[in-house]
Amino acid sequence: MTNFLDWDAVDLVAALRGGQLRAQDVMQATLGRIAVRNEAVNAIIDLRPADTLMAEARAADEATSRGALHGVPLAVKGLADVKGTRNTEGSPLFADRISTRDARFVGLMREAGAIFIGKTNVPEFGLGSHSYNPVHGVTRNPYGAGYTAGGSSGGAGAALACGMVALADGSDMMGSLRNPAGWNNVYGFRPSLGYVPREPGGDTFWQQISTMGPMARAPHDIALMMQVLAQPNPRVPLNMPKQSWDLSGQTTLNGTRVGWLGDWGGALPMEDGIIDLCQGGLSALQALGAQVTPMDAPYDAEALFQAWSDLRAFALAAEMADMFEDPTRRARLKPEAQWEIERGLAMQARALHQACVTRARWFETAADIFESCDVLALPTAQCWPFPADWDWPKSIAGVDMDTYHRWMHVMVPVSLIGVPAISVPVGFNAGGLPMGMQLIAAKGNDVALLNVAHAYHEATRWPQKFPPNIQNA
């Protein structure tokens, strides 16, 4: 009989609601597993005191159910505010900062009954897909301790893979939900922009290139978390309408049209074996009835990357300029953060306008493609998880990477236009390191995409069949 910590989140919630499990039993088991497994990966940081957590679990058992996550232990990504806990964002500038409020999405999870046990590790300010920082150290891959778990939601991905949490939140600006999901053999879902509205207080009109989203070991768990997170907010301008996130439970994909983009017509260098594993994932879709068709590159890859990198630099500079303009604080920022801010502050209006135009034209092009295609597919990464002591890979397949994020180019087509995408596991290389594949749909077709992922999951069940080789607990 499997340990209930390895159950799907929907089954764990059902057992808590039905009285087959108590929240205090789940919490005690969770803390025990963290004690045994977290040292190997350093995924959970700022763990709250056990006595406090057990008291909160007992209170949950004694209370009327508050919602979809009642009694479920969760660790929030280390970039978000959780009232009364430390929020360092991985920066020594904020090593002692205590949050005085919950971020809106954290408040939604709290209202749904979640119990917050701590945080999950991230890169400094969430920059780069490798979760290391000078405050909390590096998060390591559960499938190979010498390698990265990805990022910026790397702590979340590793914690899920290790069964230290059943659900996780994350955020995705360039690929921070999808990349670590692929590298930890779990699922990461970037929803359509507007389903999880931006946090009030900053620029909520123009800056629409990042979003919150869930990570899990099964697509129906993703849907469970979306029921909680996808709440329109009248205080911000971009909202998608509220809807049901109930999945159909379909196990076939008859008639589903999948366009395979591969390496984007040769524009994206890929390490050996990645395309082959993704084609294996496509074969699984075909076996379920999907029609898979290879596609030519639909847009100039370099134009997309240029637009993306300009918009990203502009957004980051706007948010971080105060730190950069103080010489003492600037010296404590990671070099990649300084580079982004400097680029953004120097940007000309014409370059910014051109980036916006490229973004608009690509959205139009993608919309046309989705008239004759239900799902697009791309690899989740262009390289395998790299050594944990690297900052970022300097070359892929013999091609030099000219920026710290160029190696994530494969994420840009989705991130630039805010359409939904889910990273699904596709297997492992000869060294046992995982890889994923992005499945992408038209904006607003999030539930239909999750139904495709659910059918794929029922046929493959990669996370359940191949857990990491961590000490048994």
- Fold topology of 6-465: Amidase signature (AS) enzymes (3.90.1300)
Average pLDDT, the chain: 97
76: left (phi over 0), alpha (psi -120 to 50) or beta: beta
Averaged pLDDT, 231-235 = 96
* Spatial separation of the C-alpha atoms in residues 375 and 407, rounded to whole Å: 24
Q: What is the pLDDT of residues 174-208, one digit of tens each?
A: 999 999 999 999 999 999 999 999 998 888 988 88
Residue 113 backbone dihedrals phi, psi, to 5 degrees? 100, 5
pLDDT at 471 over 80: no
- Lowest mean pLDDT: which of 123-137, 191-205, 216-230? 191-205
Write down the pLDDT at residue 1: 52
Active site residue 77: yes
- Length, in residues, of the chain: 473
Catalytic hit among 129, 152, 153, 192: 152
Catalytic hit among 77, 119, 334, 443: 77
pLDDT at 472 over 70: no
8-state DSSP, 447: H
Residue 322 backbone dihedrals phi, psi, to 5 degrees? -60, -40
Catalytic hit among 91, 131, 176, 309: 176
Q: What is the pLDDT of residues 82-115, one digit of tens each?
A: 999 999 999 999 999 999 999 999 999 999 999 9
Write down the pLDDT at residue 201: 86
Write down the pLDDT at residue 261: 98
One-letter amino acid for residue 378 of the chain: L
Q: Are strands 399-400 and 257-260 parallel, antiparallel or unpaired?
A: unpaired
* Percent of the chain clearing pLDDT 70 (strictly above): 99
* Percent of the chain clearing pLDDT 90 (strictly above): 96
Q: Are strands 434-440 and 421-428 parallel, antiparallel or unpaired?
A: antiparallel
H or E element: which one contains 435?
strand 434-440
Q: What is the pLDDT of residues 7-44, one digit of tens each?
A: 999 999 999 999 999 999 999 999 999 999 999 999 99
* Spatial separation of the C-alpha atoms in residues 164 and 31, rounded to whole Å: 8
